[in-house]
Structure 1
Amino acid sequence: MIRKLILVGCVVAFGSQAFGHGDLRSRADKHAPAGLMGDHVHEPGEWMVEYRYMNMYMDGNRAGTRRLSDAESIAFGATSDPVTNRGASPSSMTHEMHMLHVMRGMTDDITLYTMIMLPSITMDHIRGPMNPAGAGSYFTTHNSGFGDTTIGALLRLYSDADDDLILNLGGSLPTADIFRTTREPTGGMMEQPLPYPMRLGSGTFNARPGITWKRYFDHGSFGTQFQTDLPIGRNYRDYSVGDEFRLNTWYSHVLTDHFSTSLRIENLWRTNYGGADPISPDALISTNVESFRGGYTLNLGVGAAALLNGHLLNVEIVPMLHQDLNGIQLETDWSIVASWSKSF
């Protein structure tokens, strides 16, 4: 009788563990917080379609860690190296991105993906002392269209009942238009190229390798991800965007199988641009200066996810905690990311 009870107990425990393995990866926290990608694979033949929206808001300039007013930003440019903001200084920017993300499982451990991006960028400025339209007045420029296209493969290097280790072999294709002009800065008097932050892509093939480790618990999941974005060579305008390195750590807490919340810490490092666009003078505006593009940012992500009849809704608000920027740049105040995805 005792042997039978032990045997039955072992079968129940084994069955419960097997059910738990599958169940842990089918809850609302099955994906990372909305601001991250490349953290999961799909079964062979399974597709996933996702629409993702991102809005990043930047208000005011920062030199190193010091916040500057519009007037201080123009004054800073008079003594910086190189001298800049003689034509104008940026004052705020909104960067929106619409993304269509498609994934397909090829084997148990390999998933392919692609992403089409549609950025929309609006920047407000104050005119500087050498602007022919008059110092102190404001103007706005806008740019939108197709961005660079992302492609890649996710390789599951290790998996057990609670853990996944996934390698991201990704990259981007230079499908965006990186050179457009405007007459807004000078009130219609002169044509000028849009500065670097307003361009829709990098203009180069970029390598984007990354790696993610996730661990599932009964009441949540923990993960860490290191992701890079590395331009290869220079584009046809004779410059390359800076290298980018992101280290993210997060915890998702499961309130029910269909609803979870998350906290995420992001460390972001960017290097300065290489080369220079030949007709984007440094003196006109600080967003033309290649050595004013790098720096460090610390972000906090607060998110939630809901799994409803196979539809995953994921949202995250990301305020900036700390920034230390090279030269003078617009500071990032916050961003919001929201997505809908469905596997079939």
Structure 2
Amino acid sequence: MPAAGKLVVSITPTIGNLSGIKMGTRTVSNEYIVSTVPFFLNPTQTVRIVPQNIAFRTQILGLSYGVTRDFNVVLNAGMAEKSLDTIVFKGASGILPLARNYPTTASLSDFALSGVYRVYQDDINRVQISLGFSFPTGSNTATFNDFILPNRTVQNIRGFYGMQLGTGTFDIMPGVVYAGYLGPWSWGASYRGRFPLGPNPQGYLWGDLHELSGWGGYTWIPGLTTTFRASASLQGPIRGWDPEIRGAAVPSNPLFYGGQRVELFGGATVSGRFVGYENWSLGVEAGLPVYQNLNGPQIMKNWQASMQLKVKI
């Protein structure tokens, strides 16, 4: 936490990839999906559009200001971009591919403002609690242009839920962190939740999100620390639906979102003291899921990597 009257500025780019389809914990083929999974708006027809790959990129600016010794405020804002590769199957049935689409969406991400309070600290341990709010500054009405449909027509359609860059809702985000260190060793655990306060103007809200993390670190020399982190998340399906997201596609079904995921990450933090910039630091982290139980069929996550450049002012 920054000292009273001090500011910490961070820039955090993140990239990641999703590909492959799971129903629960089972990986299924495109042909199985278009032969057996009904289109939720017309159960007599199977889905005809299946995502193959999603690449996502975010760039987040963070500002953390120390109001008092034990309380600081944190602001996060930035940009997000997603690129989709999806396969379209011909007609209302069958397993004959027709075409592929490659739409991209980009906009501001949702703006978040949080307060963090240190409730306890001694020579080894500390406990912090936080309460934040997310504001719907990101777009949730992005459009796919010139999208090929199963009947061979080409239309502009509203992007699927997972390709939108914002939620469209006001969300509350509580959290708690325990951390400690002794000599070169450090460790900690955290919980973060995200709960929409009501549906967006399009008529839906994302499922409640719970995230648990635990980590350990080792400082090899002053200014160089490596870390290992495990993260588990649980999210419910989307509640409600956007009537403009209506194509016979897997990701147009609001029930095919959310689930359970466990991920493992490795990282390192390097102080700028090595190059004469004491107040600067650079962190990197990358990881991948080791367990996914998804509401689906749903495209699954493959990996994620991020970097953070931080300066104390």
> Which digits, 9 at most, give the CA deviation of each residue in 1:195-234, with x for residues without a partner?
0001011101010110000011101211000001111100
Q: Which amino acid aligns with 1:293?
A: Y
Counterpart pick for 1:126 among 71, 80, 87: 87
Counterpart pick for 2:69 among 91, 108, 111: 108
Counterpart pick for 2:165 among 200, 208, 227: 200
Q: Which amino acid aligns with 2:251?
A: T
Relative distance call for 1:262 and 1:81 in structure 2 (3 A) is farther
Counterpart pick for 1:184 among 147, 151, 156: 147
Counterpart pick for 2:237 among 272, 283, 286: 272
2:57 paired residue number: 96
Q: Equivalences for 1:1-344 in 2 at 5 Å?
A: 41-78=1-38, 83=43, 86-130=47-91, 135-182=97-144, 183-186=146-149, 189-281=154-246, 284-309=248-273, 310-344=279-313
> Which digits, 9 at most, give the CA deviation of each residue in 1:17-65, with x for residues without a partner?
xxxxxxxxxxxxxxxxxxxxxxxx2110110000001112101111111
SS at 1:73 equivalent:
helix
Task: Tell me how far 1:260 sits from its aligned partner.
Answer: 0.9
Task: Tell me how far 1:242 sits from its aligned partner.
Answer: 1.2
Relative distance call for 1:85 and 1:112 in structure 2 (3 A) is farther
SS at 1:48 equivalent:
strand
Task: Tell me how far 1:321 sits from its aligned partner.
Answer: 0.3
Q: Is the CA contact 2:39–2:248 (under 8 Å) kept in the aligned structure 1?
A: no
Q: Which amino acid aligns with 1:343?
A: K
Instruction: Please say which of residues 172-181 and 207-216 is displaced more in the overlay.
Output: 172-181
> Which digits, 9 at most, give the CA deviation of each residue in 1:83-135, with x for residues without a partner?
5763411011011110000111000000011011200000100002337xx83
Q: Is the CA contact 2:208–2:236 (under 8 Å) kept in the aligned structure 1?
A: yes
**Which structure has greater strand proportion?**
2
TM-score by length of 1: 0.83
- Give the whole-Å Cα distance in 1 for the aligned partners of 2:46 and 2:5: 54
Q: Which amino acid aligns with 2:294?
A: L
1:30 paired residue number: none
SS at 1:145 equivalent:
strand
RMSD of aligned alpha carbons: 2.0
Percent identity (aligned)? 21
Q: Which amino acid aligns with 2:250?
A: S
Q: Is the CA contact 1:86–1:129 (under 8 Å) kept in the aligned structure 2?
A: no
- Give the whole-Å Cα distance in 2 for the aligned partners of 1:89 and 1:332: 15
Relative distance call for 1:147 and 1:52 in structure 2 (3 A) is same
- Give the whole-Å Cα distance in 2 for the aligned partners of 1:82 and 1:164: 54
Task: Tell me how far 1:327 sits from its aligned partner.
Answer: 1.9
Task: Tell me how far 1:312 sits from its aligned partner.
Answer: 1.1
Task: Tell me how far 1:266 sits from its aligned partner.
Answer: 0.6
SS at 1:158 equivalent:
strand
**Which structure has greater helix proportion?**
1
- Give the whole-Å Cα distance in 2 for the aligned partners of 1:73 and 1:255: 50
Structure 1: gaps of 5 or more residues: 1-40
Task: Tell me how far 1:308 sits from its aligned partner.
Answer: 1.5
Instruction: Please say which of residues 103-112 and 63-72 is displaced more in the overlay.
Output: 63-72
